[in-house]
Structure 1
Amino acid sequence: MRLGSIHIYPIKSTRGLQVATAQVEPWGLAGDRRYMVVDADGMVLTARDHPRMLAVAATAEGRGLTLTGPHADPLQVSPAPGTPTRRVRIWNDDVDAVDAGDEAAAWFTALLGVPARLVWLDDPTRRPVDPDYGTADDRVSFADAYPLLLASTASLRRLNDWIAEGAVERGEEPPEPLPMTRFRPSVVVEDVPEPFAEDRWRRVRIGDVPFRAVKLCDRCVLTTIDPGTLTKGKEPIRTLSRHRRWDGKVWFAVNLIPDGTGTIRVGDPVTAEE
């Protein structure tokens, strides 16, 4: 098995960047989801409810970001040193983060049509991982719950086969295969011996960096949004509900917690223990 691709999402719920190498930090890949967008009350906003977020690209620019979107000129964002933190909420977690300023707030408000502000997690040690699946020392940035998400091309091929078979059963033309970007993985593994083998993995090594595989990923409506057209459909939730549903949820990919730090590169060997 080998590492086929690496993906970083500088701002939660915006477009991902595919990179050739990445530094693994205790809370995830360097530069991954250290920013997020919140509403007037400090609650996280995501593309689940605001698909236009998927049209935003953010790239590193010095110690900040350059934002590009379909609604306004590009904007450079760089939180000022010493800016006081404010309390924000991501799901069940209250976290102190730095507000990125009024220009960024106006930019995202114009994009989404609701009051919005961009915040930066200046200290990624503040947010612990769910203690049911991690240790007291495990931390996560503004990712949903865990530092990294691993998916395999073998599982995606099987899922696309199921989708095509279901379309034929309904008398429909099989759709174009879903791309891996629908699932927003951090790392994608190729040459896995069988589909969904990652369900059974407990420890994974990518290159020289070890990880724990702590929990399968339950999937939400975000996977049904085409990141190119921003339109919603029924797949892959419809097909996952048929083939990968238990405990009242549907499942695809596995969450990882680093057990070390270092650099990972596309092409690195991947090994796993069940």
Structure 2
Amino acid sequence: MHSNYLVQDIFIYPIKSLGGVRVTEAWVEDKGFQHDRRWMLVKQDGAFLSQRECPKMAQLQVLLAQDSLLVFEKKDRNNQIRIPFDKTTGKEIEVQVWDDSVIAVSVDEEFDRWFSGKLGMDVSLVKMPLSSERRVDPKYAKNGEVVSFADGMPYLIIGQSSLNDLNSKLEVSVPMDRFRPNIVFSGGKPFAEDKMNAVRIGDLEFSIIKPCARCVLTTIDQESAAKGKEPLKTLASYRTVGNKVLFGQNMVALSTGKIKVGDPVIEIS
């Protein structure tokens, strides 16, 4: 079947709410891409921290090295830490992501101190162990899917045309990083993703579950951490349904394996 859509970008966000990584290929797992939002910063009460209350998080960039994460300030690459993928203290902590309680493990006090210093508040870095099963909201799950520390769904897909459409209405255009997608595809009309029920990307199938409701995080400049009113204000003027401003579609993976930039995105019914 011919596809007008191609995978343009793949993004992984290893530590929830910090800068994402653009990759050329990624392993699709049930919880989301391999390494995607498997780490998270939590406050002393175990509640997750995000840019909503700490915009400064935008200025911390994460890179994937062969066996570890590298984290540094976007404006000072020399001051960086290396977090081995398999590093944990083994100490279990109950953490909160919205309404979900999840068992996580602490990583290392050295990293807690580094992040606390950078963000000016007391935080701890935790990791999701393989044994943790955080369920996708049963209202939306297809087969009892699980999810990482992401807000609610393992995957988010957005068409580049949708962003182009939004930018045509803004005085100052915004980059795609405001919306934190996992997969961006090229081709087609704006908001083509809204009409998709299921897609095949490369050899793998995904089910499109529901539109993604957007929040103030989209108004934070990912380079400067400055907060404004756009693009949420303009988006709300033509993408509001009920009380929600919609942009992008949440998905679950129906199969696991690898996808890469350039793969066709084919609609399947």
Q: TM-score, normalised by structure 1?
A: 0.91
Pairing partner for 1:35 from 22, 36, 39: 39
1:101 CA displacement: 1.4
Aligned to 2:150: 143
1:86 CA displacement: 1.1
Aligned to 2:218: 223
Q: Residue 88 of structure 2 contacts residue 105 of structure 2 at CA under 8 Å; is this kept in 1?
A: no
Give the letter aligned to residue 21 of structure 1.
E
Question: 1:209-234 CA deviation, whole Å, 9 max, x = no partner?
Answer: 10000010000000001111111111
* Root-mean-square deviation over aligned CA pairs: 1.7
Aligned to 1:245: 240
Q: Residue 17 of structure 2 contacts residue 58 of structure 2 at CA under 8 Å; is this kept in 1?
A: yes
Aligned to 2:265: 270
Q: Is 1:183 equivalent to 2:179 in the alignment?
A: yes
Pairing partner for 2:137 from 130, 150, 156: 130
Aligned to 1:58: 62
Aligned to 1:74: 80
For the residue of structure 2 that corresponds to 1:45, the secondary structure is coil
Pairing partner for 1:89 from 80, 93, 96: 96
Aligned pairs for 1:144-183 within 5 A: 144-163=151-170, 174-175=171-172, 177-183=173-179
1:161 CA displacement: 1.3
CA–CA separation in structure 2 for the residues paired with 1:162 and 1:226: 18
Question: 1:16-48 CA deviation, whole Å, 9 max, x = no partner?
Answer: 110101010111111111000000011000011
CA–CA separation in structure 2 for the residues paired with 1:147 and 1:238: 26
Q: Residue 34 of structure 1 contacts residue 124 of structure 1 at CA under 8 Å; is this kept in 2?
A: no
CA–CA separation in structure 2 for the residues paired with 1:182 and 1:32: 17
CA–CA separation in structure 2 for the residues paired with 1:253 and 1:65: 27
Aligned to 1:167: none
CA–CA separation in structure 1 for the residues paired with 2:201 and 2:152: 21
CA–CA separation in structure 1 for the residues paired with 2:141 and 2:237: 30
Q: Residue 27 of structure 1 contacts residue 125 of structure 1 at CA under 8 Å; is this kept in 2?
A: no
Pairing partner for 2:49 from 45, 57, 64: 45
Question: 1:43-66 CA deviation, whole Å, 9 max, x = no partner?
Answer: 000011111111112223454422
Q: Residue 124 of structure 1 contacts residue 141 of structure 1 at CA under 8 Å; is this kept in 2?
A: no
Q: Residue 207 of structure 1 contacts residue 264 of structure 1 at CA under 8 Å; is this kept in 2?
A: yes
For the residue of structure 1 that corresponds to 2:181, the secondary structure is coil
Q: Residue 125 of structure 1 contacts residue 140 of structure 1 at CA under 8 Å; is this kept in 2?
A: no
Aligned to 2:19: 15
List gaps (5 residues or longer) in structure 1.
Answer: 164-173
Give the letter aligned to residue 15 of structure 2.
I
Question: 1:165-224 CA deviation, whole Å, 9 max, x = no partner?
Answer: xxxxxxxxx32x2111111100001002x1112112110111111000001000000000
Give the letter aligned to residue 76 of structure 1.
R
List gaps (5 residues or longer) in structure 2.
Answer: none
For the residue of structure 2 that corresponds to 1:238, the secondary structure is helix
| Alpha-carbon spacing, 1:95–1:49, altered in 2? closer, same or farther (3 Å) | same
For the residue of structure 2 that corresponds to 1:239, the secondary structure is helix
For the residue of structure 1 that corresponds to 2:217, the secondary structure is helix
Pairing partner for 1:234 from 217, 229, 235: 229
1:75 CA displacement: 1.5
Q: TM-score, normalised by structure 2?
A: 0.92
> Aligned residues: percent identity?
39
Q: Is 1:195 equivalent to 2:169 in the alignment?
A: no
Aligned to 2:252: 257
Q: Residue 26 of structure 2 contacts residue 258 of structure 2 at CA under 8 Å; is this kept in 1?
A: yes
